[in-house]
Every structure is written in C-alpha cells, then in structure tokens.
C-alpha cells in the first residue's frame, strides 16, 4: 500500500503548492473508516482507495480529485456519512464522493431496461462534475488489475462490464491509454487462451526478427537527424486485445497481420509535425488509405495527431502517430487534462476541448428519449467517435464514416440505388443530398427511372465506394466521346517522339497503369484523368541521365558491417529499389538476394547468417546486370531494332545468347546493365510495346544461386 508521504511526494512533483494537510487528513480519515476491512486478496481494504489516488496522481490531477479517490468508498462501505465528509473536507469533495457512491451502486450489466435507466443516471452524474467519472474509471482500473482475487464468475461479470461500458467510455473521453489497459485486462479474463497465444507468437516473432521496435525507432531517429528535426521517437507493440480484434475484423491469422507495431513521434512544434511526415514518407513507402490528419481536422474530444502507416523493414507495416507534446498530453489523458497541473498551477492546454459540453449535450439528447431501447442504442452509438450507424426503413443497420451523406448511404445499399437517387428522407423529412447523417437516424433513398449520376455528386460524396462508382458512371456516359478525343491526343503525343500509338503500345500502357484495356486508357486520356505524358511515359519512360551524386559501389548497400564487401546473387539479380537481404559467407563477404528469391529457403534454418540490408536511396550508375528473356519475330532487322531500342533507354547490352531458334520466332537471353528497378521497368515496357516482340520478362534461375555478378 502506498504510504501517505509517497503519495504526497507524487503529487508534489507536478503541483508543489499541493495542500499536504488536506491529503494527509483524507488519507488518515479513510484508513480509519476502513479499519478492519479486507479485500478478497486479504490486503487491508484501504490499499484500494490509496492505489486509486495514486493512479489519478499519475494523471497530474488536482487535490480535490485525489482526496475524493481516498474517500470514494467511505460513504458506501463505512459509518461515514455525506454530512461528516462535508464537515471535514467541504461541500465540493462531499459532492464528488457522493457522485462516485451513486455510480458504484449502479448495476450497469443488469437487464436492458434497467441498464438504459442506469446509463441515464450515469450521464446525469457525469454532467454535474466529470471528475466523478475520472475517479470511477481509476477505481475500475485498479479493480481489474487485482481481479484475480475474485471468484471466477465474478471476474467474468466484471470483465464483460469493463469491455462493454468502461473501456469504450474511457476511449470516448480521450483516455486512450486507459481504454487499452482496461480492454487488455478484461481480455485476459474473457479469453485467456487467445491472449496467451498472441503473446507466445510475439515472443517467437521477437526471437526470429530481433528487436524490431529498437531497429525501426533507430531508423526513424536517423532520418529525423538527417532532416534536422528535433523530436522524440517512441515505439511499442500493440496490445494483445487490439491485435486479436484486428484478426477478428480482417478474418486473418497472426502471421498475416502486418501493422502490429505502433510508433509515436513527439515534436517541438506543429510545423515540425508536417516536416516529420515528409521525412518519413521520403524514407518509407506510405500505405494508401491509411493517412489521417487530425491536426487540421481534430476529433470532437480535442484529439490532434497525424496518422500514417508505412511499409518498414521486411515489408512490415508500422503505424506512426505524429504530434506535439501539448497534443500528446491531450491524447494520453483526454478529459483529465482539464484538471492537470504543471508547476503548481492548472495547465492550460490549447488543444483540450471542454468535455462537459459533450456530456451536457448528450444528457439533453438522451432526456428526450422515452423508449429505453432507443436510449440504450443512442448511448452505445455515441461511444464510437469515427463511425455513424444509421438505419434503412426496414431497420437494417448501415455503418458509414462520420460526415457521410445520403449519397454515401445510397451507394452503400447498392450501386444501382446510388445511380438512381434523386432525393432522400431522414427520419421521414425530405432533406438535401448534402445533409450530414447523424448517429441513429433512419434514411430513405428516393429513386427514379432514367436518373443518372451528376458530376456535382463528387463534391457531396465522402466514401471511396460512392466516389468511385460515380466516376465510373460519369465516364461511361461520355465514354465514346472521350475515347475518340483520347485517341487523337495519343496519336499526337506519340508522333511527337517519333512513335506510333498502336493498339499494342496502348495495351502496354494499360498494363503499366493497371487499367483494364487500351480503350480505358483512351477514355481517361480524353476525360483529362490522365495526361498524354503519363501515357507516353508508361510505354517509353522519359529517362534523363544525371551523373551528379551517383552512389558508388562502396556505398550502394546499407547495413553491411565494417570492411564487409557484397556480391549480387546470380539467381535473382537484385536491383536498387528492390527489397533485399544478405547471406554471409566465410571469405566471400555477403551475397545480396532479393527478398522473394526462391534460393533463400535453403538458409531458413541458419538465421545467424541473415543480414537486414537496403539499397542506398541515391542515384546508382547503370552497372547492374539483369537478364531478360525475350522472344522476337524472325524477320530482317528485328534484332537490330531491339538493340537500338534498349540503347535509347540508356542501357548497355553486355551479353546476348540465342536459346531457341524457330522458323518464325527467336528466343534469346539478353544481359543489360541497369541503374535500378525503375530502369528495368522502363526497358520491359518499351520492348513490350514493340509489335515484333512476342514476349519479354525478367529471367531468374535458382540454379545460379550464389554471388559473382558484376557490379
């Protein structure tokens, strides 16, 4: 049990002006009132209120909250009364203790009707003074930390209540650290086998891959140092429950999960947040659809941060949160930031919003609900901040991102419904299509035959599904006109570089741009979604040599030990820009393989020989041999044109071997010296566009495993 001197010292670290006599008096009073009482573990009961007070002190809360924690069970469990507490400690603290007592008496996991009524009382109590719920959450946290002393059936009941009510409530109030810990403690009780399995897999992963967090944190610090940005980098593995929930949502096993590590970068200024983002995206590839800027668009509870997910070492996805220290304080403590102290005075955090307004608005809204089930549904919906749950006229639930409109709702039901939408009703009232849908509303889509999507809908829709469907429909409406215009634009652009916009060239462009066919390329070109230069570069990349700052062989690979040399593996011929791994050989240095090389399987049982490597991000000389497997028509001048085409792409042919001669086709292996993977992609695209080239692909032969390739 924490001693009163230690508790006061903990408070004094952030509030030197703390009222030590008040805290000492509350400590002595609470210990006296609970004298003779014991917890299930056999410890003195007062160890619990003292621990709750310590949890709140760690959140840097005011004296009144600390004292309330010390006294929060006295009125309920001892001979102490409201009047006695008010007389000794004043009406403010007496009201807080009374509020916590009333919350404790609520059986939140009772029947649905009682649960709704108790929720109503919970929010009313919170609206009077939010410090009541702060004490209650700390009380629940300590009880969950010590839950093993309870009977198994009591443990399960408390754990479910924590998972359903207290953890989401902590998250809704911005106290993410508490939400995560409450969820994980409850998960330990509800599904101990799943939690243990995830922890075992983490341990195995750490043995196989080493300390990934330390390595990635080091990489990030190095990049920030290079950019001249002063910031703190913190890394951690995500909690077992968070990982388990992802496995359930995505329906995949642990081994297929990638973003199981999270990193935070704490900067000195808001401007540095965006500089850090740039540095990280320059160094690692950003994962599409996983970027959110909560600095420019804060959450309703004051949360501010930039979120991005990048592909880190070995292709592992890592989530990065970037924020200032003031933003971090709000992100960690949520509503507790309103009563936190710095240097003896309440801290004024510019990013903290007054959550009392949210509680007051919520209570007012719920007071209007007479139906218990509607009230309970409204409460549960309000716990989730980034989603809107609305209903179809038949009562089916539709989940949309916050800010969604009836257009998004219509396309969420079916693309055909979206295309035919002419209006909408929300809760029976006709509304404009740009209306933002709120939690719990019923939405009805009005459709009409012959209706087609309008271009203005793109400014109204917020979901990717709706916007993509609208774009597709708009393209189809003018597709023929766009194809004709696109064909003329393509002809002009290709003739400008003395090429022809043949069907095969356009098909090659479609493959490179990941479009369905040549007509799709032309349609997008005609609708200005693609530029002529983009189409041209997809077939004949515009490579302009620049020999300044070329990376020499001694600096080409990062991650080698001092005096270690490297050779490229013959089997996979890795190029700069591709993910690589090194295998050590005695007297031979390191042989570098592409990460997907089939030859690596023979070293799986020798992890000590593996090195985590990467290519230098600078410009490399065209000195890396790669073998191309090319089949060409057996006509006069074809081979000469192929060699000329490779030369036009600023690549040198170092060797050429005929492996198959037929009356109408030749198959040959061509060794070309390239700069990087992008250079290779340009060569293959240019060859593939030629009508006399039947096929072209990169040649890889596992039988040629080992080093020895030229650099």
Give burial (CB, 10 Å; 0-12/13-18/19+) of 633: middle
CA distance 441 to 426: 7
CA distance 41 to 138: 19
CA distance 2 to 219: 40
H/E stretch holding 119: helix 112-128
Residue showing tokens 């003031």: 326
Q: Are 202 and 237 in contact (CB under 8 A)?
A: yes
Q: Are 626 and 649 in contact (CB under 8 A)?
A: no
| Strands annotated E in 180-283 | 231-237, 261-267
Query: What three-state secondary structure class fits 187?
Result: helix
Closest-CA residue to 386 (of 408, 404, 401)? 401
CA distance 56 to 131: 10
H/E stretch holding 7: helix 4-12
In the Cβ-directed half-sphere of 9, how many Cα atoms lie within 13 Å? Answer: 5
Q: Which residues does residue 11 pair with via DSSP β-bridges, in sequence order? A: none
Pair of tokens at residue 5: 């001197």
Give burial (CB, 10 Å; 0-12/13-18/19+) of 311: middle
Cα 449 → chain centroid: 41
H/E stretch holding 203: helix 192-209
In the Cβ-directed half-sphere of 598, how many Cα atoms lie within 13 Å? Answer: 6
CA distance 575 to 593: 9
| Strands annotated E in 300-342 | 306-311, 317-324, 341-342
Catalytic residue chosen out of the listed positions 9, 19, 77, 678: 77
Annotate 55-78 with DSSP letters as a single string: HHHHTT--HHHHHHHHHTTHHHHS
CA distance 50 to 258: 41
Question: At a CB cut-off of 8 Å and minimum separation 6, what does 657 contact?
Answer: 668, 669
Annotate 342-397 with DSSP letters as a single string: ETTEE---TT---HHHHHHHHHHHHHT--SHHHHHHHHHHHT-SSEEEEE-TT--E
Task: State the Cα torsion 428-429-435-438 to the nearest 10°.
Answer: -40
Pair of tokens at residue 534: 């983009």
Query: What three-state secondary structure class fits 431?
Result: strand
Pair of tokens at residue 296: 């420019």
Catalytic residue chosen out of the listed positions 76, 270, 692, 701: 76
Q: Is-catalytic flag, 427?
A: no
Active site members? 76-77
């Amino acid at each position: 049990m924490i001693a009163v001197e230690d508790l006061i010292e903990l408070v004094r670290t952030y509030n030197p002006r703390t009222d030590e006599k008040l805290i000492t008096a509350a400590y002595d009073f609470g210990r006296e009132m609970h004298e003779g009482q014991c917890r299930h573990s056999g410890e003195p009961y007062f160890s619990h209120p003292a621990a709750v007070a310590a949890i709140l002190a760690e959140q840097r809360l005011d004296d009144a909250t600390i004292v309330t924690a010390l006294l929060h069970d006295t009125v309920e469990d001892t001979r102490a009364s409201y009047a006695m507490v008010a007389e000794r400690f004043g009406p403010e603290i007496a009201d807080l203790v009374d509020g916590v007592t009333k919350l404790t008496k609520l059986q939140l996991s009772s029947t649905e009707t009682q649960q709704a009524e108790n929720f109503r009382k919970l929010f009313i109590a919170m609206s009077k003074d939010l410090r009541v719920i702060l004490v209650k959450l700390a009380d629940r946290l300590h009880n969950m930390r010590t839950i093993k002393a309870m009977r198994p059936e009591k443990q399960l009941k408390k754990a479910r209540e924590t998972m359903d009510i207290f953890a989401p409530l902590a998250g809704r109030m911005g106290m993410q650290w508490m939400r995560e810990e409450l969820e994980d403690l409850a998960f330990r009780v509800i599904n101990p086998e799943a939690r243990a399995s995830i922890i075992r897999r983490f341990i195995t992963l750490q043995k196989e891959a080493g300390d990934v967090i330390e390595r990635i944190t080091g990489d990030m610090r190095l990049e920030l140092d290079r950019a001249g940005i002063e910031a703190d980098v913190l890394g951690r593995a995500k909690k077992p429950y968070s990982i388990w929930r992802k496995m359930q949502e995505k329906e995949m096993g642990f081994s297929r999960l990638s973003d199981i590590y999270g990193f935070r970068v704490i900067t000195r200024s808001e401007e540095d947040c965006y500089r850090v983002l740039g540095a990280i995206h320059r160094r690692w590839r950003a994962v599409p659809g996983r970027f959110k800027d909560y600095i420019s668009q804060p959450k309703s509870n004051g949360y501010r941060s930039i979120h991005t997910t990048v592909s880190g070492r070995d292709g592992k996805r890592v989530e990065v949160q970037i924020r200032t220290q003031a933003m971090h304080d709000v992100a960690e403590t949520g509503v507790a930031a309103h009563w936190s102290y710095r240097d003896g005075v309440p801290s004024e955090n510019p990013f903290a919003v007054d959550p009392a307004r949210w509680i007051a608005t919520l209570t007012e809204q719920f007071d209007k609900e007479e139906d218990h089930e509607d009230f309970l549904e409204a409460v549960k919906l309000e716990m989730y901040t980034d989603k809107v749950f609305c209903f179809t006229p038949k009562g089916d639930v539709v989940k949309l991102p916050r800010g969604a409109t009836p257009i998004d709702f219509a396309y969420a039901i079916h693309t055909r419904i979206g295309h035919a939408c002419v209006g909408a009703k929300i809760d029976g009232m006709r509304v404009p299509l740009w209306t933002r849908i709120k939690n719990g509303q019923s939405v009805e889509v009005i459709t009409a035959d012959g209706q087609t999507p309008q271009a203005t809908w793109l400014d109204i829709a917020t979901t990717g599904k709706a916007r993509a469907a609208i774009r597709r429909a708009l393209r189809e409406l003018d597709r023929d006109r766009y194809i004709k215009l696109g064909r003329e634009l393509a002809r002009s652009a290709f003739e400008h570089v003395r090429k022809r916009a043949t069907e095969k060239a356009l098909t090659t462009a479609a493959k490179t741009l990941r479009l369905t066919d040549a007509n799709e390329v032309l349609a997008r070109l005609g609708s200005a979604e693609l530029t002529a230069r983009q189409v041209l570069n997809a077939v004949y990349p515009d490579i302009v040599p620049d020999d300044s700052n070329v990376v020499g062989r001694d600096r080409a690979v990062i991650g080698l030990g001092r005096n270690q040399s490297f050779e490229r593996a013959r089997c996979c011929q890795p190029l700069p820009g591709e993910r690589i791994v090194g295998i050590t050989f005695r007297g031979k240095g390191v042989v570098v393989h592409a990460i997907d090389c089939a030859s690596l399987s023979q070293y799986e049982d020798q992890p000590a020989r593996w090195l985590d490597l990467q290519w230098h991000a600078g410009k490399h000389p065209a000195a890396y041999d790669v073998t191309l497997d090319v089949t060409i028509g057996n006509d006069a001048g074809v081979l000469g044109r192929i060699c000329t085409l490779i030369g036009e792409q600023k690549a040198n042919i170092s060797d050429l071997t005929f492996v198959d001669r037929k009356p109408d086709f030749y198959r040959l292996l061509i060794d070309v010296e390239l700069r990087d993977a992008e250079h290779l992609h340009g060569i293959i695209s240019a060859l593939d566009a030629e009508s006399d080239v039947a096929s072209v692909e990169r040649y890889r032969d596992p039988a040629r495993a080992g080093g020895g390739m030229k650099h």
